[in-house]
Structure 1
């Protein structure tokens, strides 16, 4: 069935507000779109028109990850209404609460910044599970509270990184997995977007670290495994070895000693044949760093 006449989609959009319809037109359109078959056509046309007013980045993401319609049955308390265009440029189509006249239930909204919200609305707020597409094409899918990521969800950035895990007030908070375009992978705890507490981190150069973090830096006890297999067991302070540490290479050579913020103070070096030498008396600290390929952490 085609939608036509004074209550058609095109006229509703051109009028730019549901309140410009006469009461007879509004009642006719409301009754029509409550019927599932007619609403299927209407919602499809609304979403097609919404695609036209999205920027290219948003439209590309929208078409890749959404279905062509948001058809859901209404309850006694909810109803579908014509596309609503607000004075500030926001647009909404979906379910409304008949009594409170607020957005309630499933719907799709485009704000004045060309960001798309698609999912559940509660008391006029985008809250619950849903999809949020940013103006650059990046998107978030998961739990939301007043349009902010809050709970469990996943963000996919057009820049190539992804994060899946816990959120609070639109920031990474709690356990999650972050993957970057450079190949880095962090799995662990976050506080306000920063790596904090216990976590596992595969770095761009192939180094793997498992241990404690503070403000995204290695801080506290942890174990680093370098790309060639060398293992470092130590205390870190702001990404630098600090305190007593043990370093072991696959060939059996080992260093056990004390560090002060990235600098070797003293210790014992054992070569692959088992011979022990004192540091710095018999072996210079820089030689130790060269042997274990950890020059970059020395001042």
Structure 2
């Protein structure tokens, strides 16, 4: 039997206006309805305690909204058809953070990723991985400026260590491929 329950406004026999719907699985929606579908501002609380607060259209997350996941992760930003789309910030429960562009729930375009230990990447993304031009700063102070592919140093780039030593040239899968090593001694590079 369907134990779902709706309390709220109707129009022409359909949920319309303000209303609360409790689903048979324990999920709950409190907010605006149009033609029987969630539409406008609302709060959706899942039975696993994750929660979305924001805009809906045709029964899906659409527009500006915040989703707090059951594991403590949090996304604040734009949505389209139930997925992260446009500009948004994802804060992981372990301290990592991504700010930037999203498409179909993945990092894409320009974005910044930071870890709790101080590593930071600023640059281009594709399918959730670093792809294109970017800058990676590591917790020890090392800095790579150059091209990335599939989340790794690939193409032309320069890795500079905190002591000033540098690898300059072509990289392949995070390794110097055709690079020159320049050692910094007494303030000069050799």
Q: TM-score range by the shorter chain?
A: 0.7 to 0.9
TM-score by length of structure 1 reads: 0.57
State the partner residue of 2:5.
Answer: 17
After the TM superposition, list the runs of 4 or more consecutive aligned residues in structure 1 that deviate by more than 6 angstroms: none
Q: Is there any run of 5+ residues in structure 1 with no aligned partner, and where?
A: 1-14, 20-25, 31-77, 255-299
State the partner residue of 2:105.
Answer: 170
Q: Distance in 2 between matches of 1:147 and 1:112?
A: 18
State the partner residue of 1:95.
Answer: 32
Q: Which one has a bigger Cα radius of gyration?
A: 1
Q: Is the 2:119–2:138 Cα contact (8 Å) retained in structure 1?
A: yes
State the partner residue of 1:85.
Answer: 22
Q: Cα–Cα, structure 1 residues 153 and 250, in superposed 2: closer, same or farther, change >3 Å?
A: farther
Q: Which of residues 106, 121, 128 in structure 2 aligns to 1:193?
A: 128
Q: Is the 2:167–2:176 Cα contact (8 Å) retained in structure 1?
A: no
**How far did 1:111 drift?**
2.1
Q: Identify the structure with the greater strand proportion.
A: 2
**How far did 1:231 drift?**
2.6
Q: Cα–Cα, structure 1 residues 250 and 187, in superposed 2: closer, same or farther, change >3 Å?
A: farther
Q: Is the 1:80–1:95 Cα contact (8 Å) retained in structure 2?
A: yes
Q: Distance in 2 between matches of 1:253 and 1:124?
A: 61
Q: Is there any run of 5+ residues in structure 2 with no aligned partner, and where?
A: 10-15
Q: Distance in 1 between matches of 2:83 and 2:44?
A: 14
Instruction: For 1:100-249, list aligned pairs within 5 A.
Output: 100-249=35-184
**How far did 1:113 drift?**
3.0
Q: Is the 1:131–1:142 Cα contact (8 Å) retained in structure 2?
A: yes
Q: Cα–Cα, structure 1 residues 220 and 197, in superposed 2: closer, same or farther, change >3 Å?
A: same
**How far did 1:135 drift?**
0.3
How many equivalent pairs are there?
182
Q: Distance in 2 between matches of 1:138 and 1:244?
A: 40
Q: Is the 1:149–1:168 Cα contact (8 Å) retained in structure 2?
A: yes
Q: Distance in 1 between matches of 2:126 and 2:178?
A: 26
Q: Distance in 2 between matches of 1:17 and 1:113?
A: 19
Task: Judge which range, 242-251 or 109-118, deviates more.
Answer: 242-251
RMSD between aligned alpha carbons? 2.0
Q: Is the 1:235–1:245 Cα contact (8 Å) retained in structure 2?
A: no
- Give a deviation string over 1:109-143, Cα, whole Å, max 9, x none: 01233221110010111111101110012110001
Q: Identify the structure with the greater helix proportion.
A: 1
